[in-house]
């Protein structure tokens, strides 16, 4: 059973998210909050696996709450809920440690699938907003020093997989491309995360773009 904590300052939105999560056979809501400070206070005690995090909340916003939760409760994954057209903070949330984002008006099935994905350690980059994030990543000049350090640290196979992760490929797609099993691909990704001291696939993608490994 996936334990979910819902954080949103809009009562109706939060109630809808709670109902949608509880309607899933493999999920249960273990807590909810109307602001970031309340979320930070209650999430550890809830033993949540995934936090559905709104970005614009009073007292403490979703970005700072995400940063503190990721730093203090390492086993919890944060999935950002956004109205993205009004939220210019999604990239900041990813840098803070969020495992992905999904738009609030997405179908319930899509949100449920996103929860399952981040729970098993995958990244969720909603197709409708991914291009905005990539645009922001490309706005940064690549760091040649970090790129060289990464190339020295990772094997050729690991670098190849990093580039495919940054391209948005799933484990199955990567496996088909490099002619490996999905289990082997997952092992390589785990080694990359350990070597680069990153949290998940989202951070691998960000790292690859920031260091220029995708070019």
pLDDT digit string, tens, across residues 146-186: 888 888 899 999 999 999 988 778 888 899 999 999 899 98
User: With bands split at pLDDT 50, 70 and 90, how would you rate the model's confidence at 87?
Assistant: low
Task: Give the structural domain span for 200.
Answer: 139-211
Q: Examine the fold and report which residue of 109, 129, 149 is the final residue of a domain before the chain moves on.
A: 129
Give the CA dihedral 147, 160, 123, 100, nearest 10 degrees. 30
Those residues whose C-beta lies under 8 Å from the C-beta of residue 133, and which sit 6 or more positions away, are: 90, 91, 94, 125
Return the number of other C-beta atoms located less than 10 Å from residue 202's C-beta: 24
Q: Where are the beta strands (DSSP E) in 37-126?
A: 50-54, 77-82, 100-103, 124-125
Give the chain's count of helices (H) and strands (E). 11, 6
CATH code, domain carrying 38? 3.40.50.2300
99 and 169, same domain (yes or no): no
Q: Is residue 134 assigned to a domain?
A: no
Q: For residues 126-135, give the mean pLDDT.
A: 59
- pTM here is 0.72
98 and 16, same domain (yes or no): yes
Q: How many domains are there within the chain? A: 2
């Amino acid at each position: 059973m996936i334990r979910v904590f819902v954080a949103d300052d809009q009562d109706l939105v939060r109630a809808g998210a709670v109902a949608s999560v509880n309607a899933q056979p493999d999920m249960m809501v273990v807590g909810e909050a109307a602001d970031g400070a309340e979320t930070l206070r209650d999430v550890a005690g809830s033993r949540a696996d995934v936090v559905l995090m709104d970005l614009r909340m009073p007292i403490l916003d979703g970005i700072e709450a995400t940063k503190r939760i990721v730093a203090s409760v390492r086993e919890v994954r944060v999935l950002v809920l956004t109205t993205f057209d009004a939220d210019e903070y999604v990239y900041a949330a990813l840098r803070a440690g969020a495992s992905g984002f999904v738009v609030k008006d997405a179908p319930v099935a899509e949100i449920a699938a996103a929860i399952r994905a981040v729970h098993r350690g995958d990244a969720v980059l909603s197709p409708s907003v991914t291009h905005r994030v990539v645009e922001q990543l490309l706005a940064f000049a690549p760091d040649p020093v970090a790129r060289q350090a990464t190339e020295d640290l990772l094997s050729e196979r690991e670098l190849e997989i990093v580039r495919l992760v940054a391209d948005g490929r799933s484990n199955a797609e990567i496996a088909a491309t490099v002619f490996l099993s999905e289990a082997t691909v997952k092992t390589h990704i785990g080694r990359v995360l350990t070597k680069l001291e990153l949290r998940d696939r989202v951070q691998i993608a960000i790292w690859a773009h920031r260091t220029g490994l995708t070019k």
